[in-house]
Each structure stands twice: as structure tokens, then as C-alpha cells.
Amino acid sequence: MDHQHVFVCGNPALDFAATLRARRSVRFEMFVTPDRLDAWYVECGLVDTITPADKGDVEQAKALREAIYELVTARRLGQEYGGEALTVLNGVARKPSTSPQLTPTGRQTEATPDQALSTVARHAVELLSGPDVPLMKECGNPECTRVYVDRSRGMRRQWCGMESCGNKIKAAAYRARKKSAPTVAAR
């Protein structure tokens, strides 16, 4: 399976919220088909195998994703939670979640799309009620709308990830400096 999803946020719920990218500008949707949603659950490591999702599962996943993003943004900005977003999150979190099984070769987690989604919702509940709340930051790239958990020393991390945003910003800043640097005339 070729990996098309990126996991840089430090929490599955934040990575899930980031599957709608560049929300302030182009809005790039990662869950375009049910198989992209299935791939996310497997690539994230929440499940080993999943019953294939359908269009309805994708719509439910998008609804949960938007609720998580809204709640994370509210918590980050010190605002009240929206009632509808809370209802969506708690409704999904109430459903049965994934349950890992021990096999002779190690752990195996099989799930339905509903169970996988519930697991994401429970991660969001834990995140938003836990010790990582003060560590949540939005990426410093103005085009990026990912929120991540900053566990760096002194909370100095600026970007969701060096590969995804840090290198782009640094390269752009370097080009801007080169362009504005006065040229030294040869004597």
C-alpha cells in the first residue's frame, strides 16, 4: 500500500482533523473515496484490517472530523465548545470501538468503519480532556491548518512537520533573503 496520508500531529484525532488540508485557502480533501478512509485507519495504525467503508461511512467520518476540528480550535483559542460539535463527538465516542486481539504472532486489530471511527472519537475525548491541551499549536505555515501537539523542548516547534511545511517555509524565506540582498559590485 502506498502511503498517501501524513501523520505529524502527535495524536490520531489531530491527524484525522488534518485530513481536510489548507482550510483557509484551497481546502484539500483527503477522504475523496471510501478506500482512502480505509487506508487512513490502517496507515494510522488504529487497525490492521478494516471492513471496507462505503459512502455513508465517509460522510460520518467527515462529520466527526469537522466536529473534532471545531472543538480543538475552540479549546486552543480558549473559547466555549459548540453544542452541535460536542453532540457529534460524544455520539460517535459512545459506539463500540476497536478491540485488539492477541494472536500467536502478536496483536491484531480488526474493525468495522464504525468501530474505527469511535476509536478516533475517543482519542479526541482523551486529548481535549487531558494534559496535552496546553501543548496544542497550529502550524506556522499560513497555508497549513494542521494542529499538532508540541512536545519539543521549550515548546519551540513551529511547524506540523519539517517535510510537509518546515522545509517549504525555510526555502521560501531563503529565496526572499537572496532576492532582497544587495548585490556587491565587483571592484
Per-residue pLDDT of the chain (187 residues; tens, 9 = 90+): 456 788 999 999 999 999 999 999 888 999 999 999 999 999 999 999 999 999 999 999 999 999 999 999 999 999 999 999 999 999 999 999 999 999 999 999 999 999 999 999 999 999 999 999 999 999 999 889 999 999 999 999 998 987 778 776 666 665 666 777 665 555 5
Instruction: Residue 158: give its domain's CATH number.
Output: 1.10.3300.10
What are 90-94's contacts with CB under 8 Å, separation 24+?
90/121, 90/125, 92/60, 92/64, 92/117, 92/118, 92/120, 92/121, 93/118, 93/121, 93/122, 93/124, 93/125, 94/118
Distance of alpha carbon 111 from alpha carbon 117, whole angstroms: 10
Tally of residues, the chain: 187
4 lies in some domain = no
Distance of alpha carbon 31 from alpha carbon 165, whole angstroms: 21
Model pLDDT, residue 77: 95
5 lies in some domain = no
Show the domain range for 23: 12-180
Using DSSP, state whether 147 is helix, strand or coil.
strand
Using DSSP, state whether 129 is helix, strand or coil.
coil
| DSSP structural state of residue 104 | T
CA atoms within 13 A on the CB side of 41: 29
Model pLDDT, residue 6: 84
Residue 8 C-alpha cell reads as 505529524
149 lies in some domain = yes
3 lies in some domain = no
Using DSSP, state whether 158 is helix, strand or coil.
coil
6 lies in some domain = no
Distance of alpha carbon 8 from alpha carbon 56, whole angstroms: 27
Q: Which residue in 74, 70, 73, 125 sits closest to 95, CA to CA?
A: 125
134 lies in some domain = yes
130 lies in some domain = yes
Q: How many domains does the chain have?
A: 1
Handedness of CA 119, 112, 68, 84 (dihedral sign): negative
Max distance between CA atoms of the chain, in angstroms, equals 77
Model pLDDT, residue 1: 45
96 lies in some domain = yes
